[in-house]
Amino acid sequence: MKRFGIGALAAALMFSGLAGAAFAETATPPAANNEAHPAIEPAALEILKATSEKLSAAKSIAFHALGAFDVPARDGQPLFYYSRSEVLLVRPNKLRVIVPGDGPPSEFYFDGSTVAVLRPKEDLIAIAEVPGNLEDMLEKIYQKAGIYFPFVDFLVSDPYKALTSGLTRAFVIGQSAMIGGVTTNVLSISDEKVHLQIWIGADDKLPRLIWATGTDADKPRHMVEFSNWKLDGDVSNEAFAPKRTAATKQIPFARPDEDPGEKKP
């Protein structure tokens, strides 16, 4: 789960009761030293693998992601913020993420060689040449501008590898009929930095909801709910070009907290 980092969530979103009791009664978290309940259950891995195979085989993927995260106020009280992302992916190297959001709206485009981030309200655009595949691009834009998408593990070519790298615990909690109007398998997976609870469609194998909690007490929690899934639809190349105007002003492609005038060593 290298890419599902909790610490990068705030930057990402700039661009951007009873059921629990029932689960607790029917599912016992596995113990690492108990052979009958291994720390990593094969059944959980099988569900993740089926999801990965379905997503990686799709030539195009579209979905909506409603995200929520909390950050502490000055007095320590947690404050929750929401953001919605409209995602369109064409393999191997095209991505569009439109973020209406509660904050400033933003639009992200990658056409296989160039990344453009548009702020339509201010009519500003940042552009960078980032040739390569999708994974290379995602790594470079995070390093260069702090851009990160909390659903990125489901965009890469091998979601199973992204979700299980460094895995320390994984088990099936049970099933739910409360999310997305479908029956879902509910999993818990963890590594040293984050715990994820994932709801995955039992029949369609598509992710429906994720709750993530960092292992450090000061890290924000976040949630992503998925809807409007469409796989293998027809997509034109024009979908990955920003709609700029003659008045659109280009700004440096850099981290939001970086001084444009500051010279790096």
* pLDDT score recorded for residue 218: 64
* pLDDT score recorded for residue 213: 87
Per residue in 56-67, pLDDT (tens digit) is: 999 999 999 999
* pLDDT score recorded for residue 220: 63
Per residue in 206-234, pLDDT (tens digit) is: 999 999 988 876 666 789 999 999 999 99
Residue 182's identity, in one-letter code, is: V
Per residue in 22-43, pLDDT (tens digit) is: 333 334 445 444 555 579 999 9
Residue 132 pLDDT level (bands cut at 50, 70, 90): confident
Q: Is 51's pLDDT higher than 80? A: yes
* pLDDT score recorded for residue 265: 40
Of 71, 97, 73, 70, whose CA–CA distance to 86 is shortest?
Answer: 97
pTM: 0.81
Distance CA(117)–CA(145), nearest Å, equals 10
Q: Is 19's pLDDT higher than 60? A: no
Nearest 10 degrees: CA dihedral of 257, 136, 238, 118?
Answer: 0
% of residues, the chain, pLDDT over 70: 80
Please state the domain extents for the chain. Answer: 9-16+34-251
Of 128, 162, 159, 158, whose CA–CA distance to 144 is shortest?
Answer: 128
Distance CA(209)–CA(213), nearest Å, equals 14
Mean pLDDT of the 5-31 span: 37
Architecture of domain 9-16+34-251: Clam (2.50)
What's the whole-number average pLDDT of the chain?
Answer: 83
* pLDDT score recorded for residue 22: 34
Q: Are strands 124-129 and 207-214 parallel, antiparallel or unpaired?
A: unpaired
Per residue in 180-206, pLDDT (tens digit) is: 899 999 999 999 988 999 999 999 999
% of residues, the chain, pLDDT over 90: 61
C-alpha dist (Å) from residue 15 to 142, 210, 239: 12, 19, 18
Burial 153-184 (b: 16+ CB within 10 A, else e): bbbbeebbebbbeebebbbbbeebeebbebeb
Distance CA(3)–CA(52), nearest Å, equals 15
Structure tokens at 177: 């009929």
Strands lying side by side in the sheet with 184-190: 169-176, 184-190, 194-201, 207-214, 222-231, 60-72, 78-90, 94-99, 106-110, 114-119, 124-129, 249-251
Of 130, 135, 102, 133, whose CA–CA distance to 117 is shortest?
Answer: 130
Residue 112's identity, in one-letter code, is: G
